[in-house]
Structure 1
Amino acid sequence: MPSLLHHPLDPSSRLVRLMCAEYGVPLDMEEIKPWLREAELLEINPAATLPVLIGDSDTPIVGLLASIHTIEDLYTPSAVEGLIPAEPGQRAEMWRLIEWVIFKLNDEVTRYVLEEKIVKRDQRGATPDPAVLRVAKANLNEHMLYFNWLFATRAWLAGDTMTLADFALAAHLSTLDYLGDIDWGKAGETRDWYSRIKSRPAFRTLLNDRVVAMPPQRGYADLDF
């Protein structure tokens, strides 16, 4: 059984977990706080980032993109359609939106929220900076407008079929939802999409996640929210 070094609210780890769950690949998960830069993680990945996937060969697969390609190469089941489109144009649009999520959305929203609300809990005397959180919220509102426009013009994030781009966005939004940073009443078409993808069996493990001394916001685990 492959194992995954992860943190429950790390969106990159969540993406790998969603992908494996969709493909029916069980994972033995080990929780790590990468910002503590502990020796166990640094020996495997000097960058101290997650996720780290360890397969049957015990060779660490470090990073999100390497993990995605390894899972697609080794574990895509023949019984279901894969998450990466075969048609070049559809595949390009999928990667465009994955890049938007894991770089732009992360750099402008998710990483700031995690640093202020999660990482600072392990820093003596540190408290969340309201100014930083206000900027992250304003940035999130702009992203949600774009996502609403996309979902008003197509069934899924990258087109008419569900792809890995949907799981990438769901990984980030589920992290922000856990922390109470999304007003679903104003989310429009994105809320309708999230309700559909949240109902998939692959999502169940994420909805059971809990961070010690920080329960999720109300409705996080509800399919009807």
Structure 2
Amino acid sequence: MPTLVHYPLDPSSRLVRLMCAEYGVPLDLEEIKPWLREEALLELNPAATLPILFTDSEDAVVGIMASIHAVEDFYTPDIVGGLFPADPLARAEMWRLVEWVLVKLNDEVTRYLVEEKIAKRDIRGATPEPSVLRAAKANLTEHMLYFNWLLASRNWLGGDELSLADFALAAHFSTLDYMGDVDWSKVPPETRDWYSRIKSRPAFRTLLNDRVVAMPPARGYADLDF
């Protein structure tokens, strides 16, 4: 059974978990806080980032991009299509949006909110910086407008079919939703409908059951109809 070194609210780890759940691949989960830079983590990845995936071998697959490809290469079921579109142009659009989420959305929104709300809890005397929280939430509003513009004319984020782009964005949204940083009453209906559809997939149950010590999820986090 493959093993994933992860943190429950790390969106990149969540993406790998979603992929494995979608493909019916059980995972052993080993939780670690990457911001503590513990020796055990640094031995696996000197960059102290997650996820780290162990497949059926003893070799570590380090980082989100390597893990994505490892899951797709090793675990895509033969009887269904994977999360990578077969058409080259559709696949290029998928990768464009995956990069948008993993780089731009993460660097402008998710990373700051996780650092301020979660990582700082392990630093004595540290408290979230209001100006950083405000900036991240303002950035989230702009990203939401763009995602909704896409979803207003597509069945899924990257086009007509579900793809890795949807799971990447859902992984980040689920982290933000857990922390209470998405006001769904103000989110346009196209994006609400998309998130409700992907949240209702069986693969998503593994995320909806997550709980962080001393930080319960925001109200409605596990509700399929919101």
Q: Percent identity?
A: 77
TM-score (norm 2): 0.99
1:80 equivalent to 2:58? Answer no
SS at 2:172's partner residue? helix
**Residues 132-177 of structure 1, C-alpha deviations (whole Å, 9 max, x = no match):** 0000010000000001100101000000000000000000000000
Aligned to 1:18: 18
SS at 2:152's partner residue? helix
- The amino acid of 1:219's aligned partner reads G
1:129 equivalent to 2:129? Answer yes
1:95 equivalent to 2:92? Answer no
Which segments of structure 1 move beyond 3 Å, counting only runs of 4 or more? none
1:41 equivalent to 2:63? Answer no
- The alpha carbon displacement at 1:80 in A equals 1.4
SS at 1:220's partner residue? coil
SS at 1:103's partner residue? helix
TM-score (norm 1): 0.99
- The alpha carbon displacement at 1:187 in A equals 1.1
Q: Partners in 2 of 1:50 and 1:126 — Cα distance?
A: 23
Aligned to 1:210: 211
SS at 2:5's partner residue? strand
RMSD (Å), alpha carbons:
0.5
Aligned to 1:223: 224
- The alpha carbon displacement at 1:81 in A equals 1.3
1:74-223 equivalences under 5 Å are: 74-188=74-188, 189-223=190-224
- The alpha carbon displacement at 1:56 in A equals 1.1
Aligned to 1:28: 28
- The alpha carbon displacement at 1:194 in A equals 0.1
SS at 2:84's partner residue? coil
Q: Partners in 2 of 1:60 and 1:138 — Cα distance?
A: 37
Unaligned runs of at least 5 residues, structure 1 = none
Q: Partners in 2 of 1:42 and 1:51 — Cα distance?
A: 13
SS at 2:220's partner residue? coil
Q: Partners in 1 of 2:73 and 2:101 — Cα distance?
A: 22
